[in-house]
Amino acid sequence: MLNRLLLGAAALSLAASMAFGAQGAKFYIGEGDKEKAYMEMINKKIGDIGFVLSDPHERINDAYKTKWGTPTQTIKGVTRPHPDFDPTFKETLDNLGFFSITNDKVIGALLMKEPSLGGFSPFNLHIYKKKGENKTYVGHVMPDTMLDIVGVKDAEVRKQFIASFADLDKMVEKEIGSTVEYVDYKALPAKPMMTFEIPFDRKGGVEAFKSDFQSKFEEAFEANKYIIAGYKDIQTSMADLGIQFDRYDAYWVYSLCHFRFSEGIFNKGRPDAGVFAPCSMYMYIDKGSNKLMVGMPRLATWTAVMGIKDQKMVDSINALDKEIVKIMTELGAKEL
C-alpha cells in the first residue's frame, strides 16, 4: 500500500512538472539592422530609467572570426599562420553582444533581503542578428524566471524586482521594435543553483582576505581558459549611491565566460541562449561572518529554459558545470 502511494505521489509530481509552463526569456524583434539604435539606447538612454551599464561586450561575433576564422595573423609586420585557425569555422552572425546592466537603486534594498539575486545582478540585455536574416533580436531572461532560478520566494521582493523591468521593456520596444517573441519552458533543473561556502580567518582583515581570494580566483579560472568578462563591486556601488547596505562586510559579482564554449553554442545555431551570458557569480560576506558565500546559476538552466536539444551543446554545458564546481572546490570551497 505504501509503495503504491509513493508511486502515485511520484507520478503526480512528474505530471505536475510536465504540466508546468512558463515564459523563460523575452526578445523584442526589430526589422533590419538595429545595432546603431541599440548602442544609442544602451550607452545614452538606459540611465534615464535607473539602469547602470557595466562591462559591455559588443560584437563578440567579430572576436570569434578573428580567433578561429582568420587563417593568418600579422605581428610586428610579420605574417604567420594563425595558431587558433579552425578551417571548419563558419560565420553565422552579423552581431552578438552581451551588455551587463543592473538597476542599482532597486537591487540594493532587495539584496539586503535576498543575496542570491546576485545571480542576475547584473544581467545581460542581449542583442543578436543572424546572417541572412533581416531582423535584430534584443531581450533578457524573464524576471520571474530569474527569481525562480535563484530561489527567491519572498512575495514583496518578487513584486519589486519584476516591476523594475517595466520601463526597460518599454524602452526596448520603442527603440528596437514592438514584435515580441517568448521562449517557453516546462521546468527548471532540480538544482538550478550551485552554491558554496569558504571559511576564512578574520584576524587578517576582510579586505586582505578579499584581495587575496580574488587574485587566486581570477588566476584559477583564467588558467582553465575562462575570461573574467566583468566585475561589479556591489558594496561600493551602494555606498556611492548612499544606499544602506550594512548587512554585508563585502559583496561583489564576477561575470564569467568560456570563449570556446560560447562559440560552440552561440555561433552554432543558438545565439538566443546568449541571453544567459556571461554567468554572474556572486560572492558576499555577512557582517561579522567568517565565511565567504558564493552562488551562480548552473548552466543546466540554459538547457532547460532555452530548450537546447543538440547533444554536443548539452554535453558541453554539463561539462562546464562540473568544471566550475571542481575549480571552486580546489580553491577551498565547500559545495552546499
Q: Which letter does DSSP use for residue 118 in this model?
A: G
Q: How many domains does the chain have?
A: 1
pLDDT tens for the chain, 336 residues long, are: 323 233 333 333 333 333 357 999 999 999 999 999 999 999 999 999 999 999 999 999 999 999 999 998 888 888 988 888 889 999 999 999 999 999 999 999 999 999 999 999 999 999 999 999 999 999 999 999 999 999 999 999 999 999 999 999 999 999 999 999 999 999 999 999 999 999 999 888 999 999 999 999 999 999 999 999 999 999 999 999 999 999 999 999 999 999 999 999 999 999 999 999 999 999 999 999 999 999 999 999 999 999 999 999 999 999 999 999 999 999 999 999
Distance, CA of 86 to chain centre:
27
Residue 75: the pLDDT is 87
Q: Is residue 192 part of a domain?
A: yes
Residue 55, phi-psi category: left (phi > 0), alpha (psi -120 to 50), beta (remainder): left
Is 11 inside a domain boundary? no
Q: How far apart are CA 163 and CA 109, in angstroms?
A: 14
User: pLDDT tens-digit profile of 231-257?
Assistant: 999 999 999 999 999 999 999 999 999
Cell reading at 252: 561583489
Instruction: Report the pLDDT value the prediction gives residue 248, as an integer from 0 to 100.
Output: 96
The dihedral formed by the CA atoms of 194, 199, 205 and 206, expressed in degrees to the nearest 10: 10
Question: Rounded CA gap, 49 and 54, in Å?
Answer: 15
CATH number of the domain encompassing residue 290: 3.30.310.70
Residue 18 lies in a domain: no
Find the largest Cα–Cα distance for the chain. 80
Tell me if residue 18 falls in helix, strand or coil.
Answer: helix
In 176-310, which ranges are continuous DSSP H helix? Answer: 206-223, 234-241, 259-266, 300-306
CB 263 within 8 A of CB 255: no
Picking from 236, 333, 247, 327, the residue whose alpha carbon sits closest to that of residue 291 is 333
Per the CB < 8 A criterion, the answer to whether 198 and 294 are in contact is yes
Within 13 Å of residue 175, how many CA atoms lie on the same side as its CB?
Answer: 22
Residue with cell 588566476: 219
2 assigned to some structural domain? no
Q: Which domain holds residue 211?
A: 24-335
Quote the pLDDT of residue 13: 34
Q: Is residue 298 part of a domain?
A: yes
- pTM for this prediction: 0.90
In a domain, 131, yes or no: yes
Amino acid at 78: V
